[in-house]
Chains A and B, each alone.
Chain A
């Protein structure tokens, strides 16, 4: 299945092309028109496989990448990855269309679209990879591209801070997830998720199973902004609105949910998985909706509402995992419908939240503010935007005839059904689930009303607005209108979505169940008067009452002191670690070269001499050594003389020339010992470094005669003697060292293997060419470093980047 491979690679290739195209295209048209073709083509390519997936087929394609480490580029297209693939490309197309009208051509569009395509490719890589290591790589790449996109307007301090926070938290989670993956690898001896799922019975008893579960969940929770890691998402709203709509509500934040869904066949039957996922999800649901009510910035409100909705989906997957505990049976649909509702709400959330974000972007763009204290009365001025807001908000609040109503009802049904489960001693706290869900839904209803009424109803306050408000251009409205049509369309034809998209995904979540068609409930908009419907009615009535009396209970929020929020805790932690590392670094990075030499040499002696003593390798045999010739003795004395003189030399140039004497003498030794390659290299290197030193010394002041204290002088002398002794003794001992297999055997066949009779060069260019290649790269980096340090000094006026 090469399509999936293309789907992952195409965005990366196009991202690389953007810098080339940008200069040509910027005069002609908006860069977005080129970029939009990528997700659109991929959406069509993927959509072609929907009918085949609905029949229960899956597609797998393996490209061997590093087979020696079990790391292969395996793409796997099944129902679950299809949902995400369609969301990424579908919402991606709409968001890029929207961004064409949202971002003016004066912005650095080539950066923006380059990052966006990078993200798209990485995200597709996450959902289509079967190999854990490949998945992890793409996972971190989404964090990086999210960082770049949040900081797109990097002249703003808040943007940079938000980007840093998002990066810190998601990468922290990503690293723990990596540890979890490695533990899974130890337990299962494979990186392939499909193979892990197939061997889950064996893995379950492994000691690392539970630690792996917790670490992987940490990765999922941080990425999907679950309580208490949700704090990065509101700050990430500093990004341009298309980015918020795409990454921070529709796709990237759902990567954690994807991970939970993907791993439910592995961890699903565990009590700890059930409790962690469902309770953390429910707490997030409540906390997000509770906090959304008090926000005054429209985007912050939507951010908290996204946190809350992600918690809802997460908790549904937790509830659905009970199905794995019981296995396939008569009543399994009671529990598996929770997972179904999760998938359904996942799609619904992307539609209505995407529309709402775009709506807020339009308001921000046309009015100049998104502070609800300055907004109001826009209904008559922006009727289409108002309609979009109403459809999106009512769907979010769970009202008919919008798709949010259907999934909210299913959510209520799932939390009600969980009361009767006997496993994991759920029955003891049975009422906890429905009550939290219901209370959180009331707050959801309240903030949905706030969103509409504070922006569009009430009195217009033109004096508080930066611009004269008017309806947005058509191009900006197309994308949210399409999403709103989907919101309504899914309500009327939910089972089309259920059959073609959600049912194959159910098969991925419950792979051991023989049929999935009975796991897929038929979705009805009207199912008679039952508890779920009464709960919804209760939400509406109490929600309206709370909304009307908002002023009287809002002071409640002040009870929570600013001192004890998670944000202050996070900031304190960052500050402490920064100060701590600075203190530690300052302790040993003194700026004094002598100190650094002391560290290097003490470490060297301790490690090398220590190892030789510890491993008892200090054995000497002089019987096989050749006799020492007189001219060798002369050279040795010359070197000793030069070395001792160097210590007492008064000037830098003298010392450097004496150093040269040492170098050339070594070259002589190479000649005597018949190593012409080394001798030649040593000679030239010595000449070039001498020239370099002479150049540098021109800029240095004269050598100051310093007379340090006796004790320091003696300690330096001791270190020098130890270093010299170590080198000498090790040099003598290694001749007979035989602890390792000698690696030099194949050098004997250099002519046959590498076609060269100069063995030194066949080692450099063939046997160990990898070393040489990287050395060349290091050399270039060092050269550019010297160039940058000497040439590119910061200009004074640019020193202050803060604004």
Chain B
């Protein structure tokens, strides 16, 4: 049975951008407002899953030729890397540092190593969720 999914595809085209933008926004908002690495990653993943639902795997893979297992691995590497990195500055494991820098146009902005850590979390979530959904749906 062939499902007519014109509506789904058309909606997806527009909605995916909103979802992905929301995901990125949530990721950066996390420091001072609701959001963060986990939720940001989850929203990004749900956007990608929506793409897979609307289109077939090959089409999406052409647009995003990532191996999502590697994305997840990269995420874990970032998360553990920032943890180990603190040892090189002679502070306890997993110490996070932050500072405020005046950036032209944006004004005073906070920079923190937590962002790298959270990026690791987000990438792991995206990688793992997509990997699981792809492996189950590709299974014969």
Which residues from chain A sit less than 8 Å from chain B, CB to CB? 676-677, 680-681, 684-685, 687-688, 691-692, 695-696, 699, 754-758, 760-761, 764-766, 769-770, 772-773, 776-777, 779-780, 782-784, 786-787, 790-791
Contact = CB atoms under 8 A, between A and B. Distances in A.
Contact of B121 (A681, A772, A783, A790): A772
Which DSSP category, helix, strand, loop or mixed, fits chain A's interface? helix
A692 B132 contact: yes
Contacts of B120: 776
Interface stretch (B6-14, B56-64, B71-79): B71-79
Interface in B107-140: 110, 112, 114, 117-118, 120-121, 124-125, 127-129, 131-133, 135-139
Given A755-B112, A769-B117, A681 B124 contact: no
A783 B129 CA distance: 7
B83 A681 contact: no
A780 B42 contact: no
Contacts of A770: 83, 93-94
A688 B42 contact: yes
Contact of A764 (B32, B36, B131): B36
B36 A786 contact: no
Given A677-B36, A773-B83, A696 B42 contact: no
A518 B73 CA distance: 62
A167 B128 CA distance: 35
B20 interface: no
Nearest to A685: B42
A758 B30 contact: yes
Contacts of B138: 790-791
Nearest to A764: B36
Interface of B: 26, 30-39, 42-43, 45-46, 49, 53, 69, 72-73, 75-76, 79-80, 83, 93-94, 96, 98, 110, 112, 114, 117-118, 120-121, 124-125, 127-129, 131-133, 135-139
B25 to A, nearest CB: 12
Q: Which of A684, A699, A765, A790 has the most CB of B within 10 A?
A: A765
A784 B71 CA distance: 12
B136 A692 contact: yes
B26 A680 contact: yes
A773 to B, nearest CB: 5
A770 B73 CA distance: 18
A686 to B, nearest CB: 10
A680 B136 contact: no
A758 B32 contact: yes
Contacts of B30: 758, 761
A772 B117 CA distance: 10
A302 B38 CA distance: 60
Nearest to A766: B96
A787 B72 CA distance: 12
Given A783-B131, A787-B69, A684 B80 contact: no
Nearest to B100: A755
Contacts of B125: 779
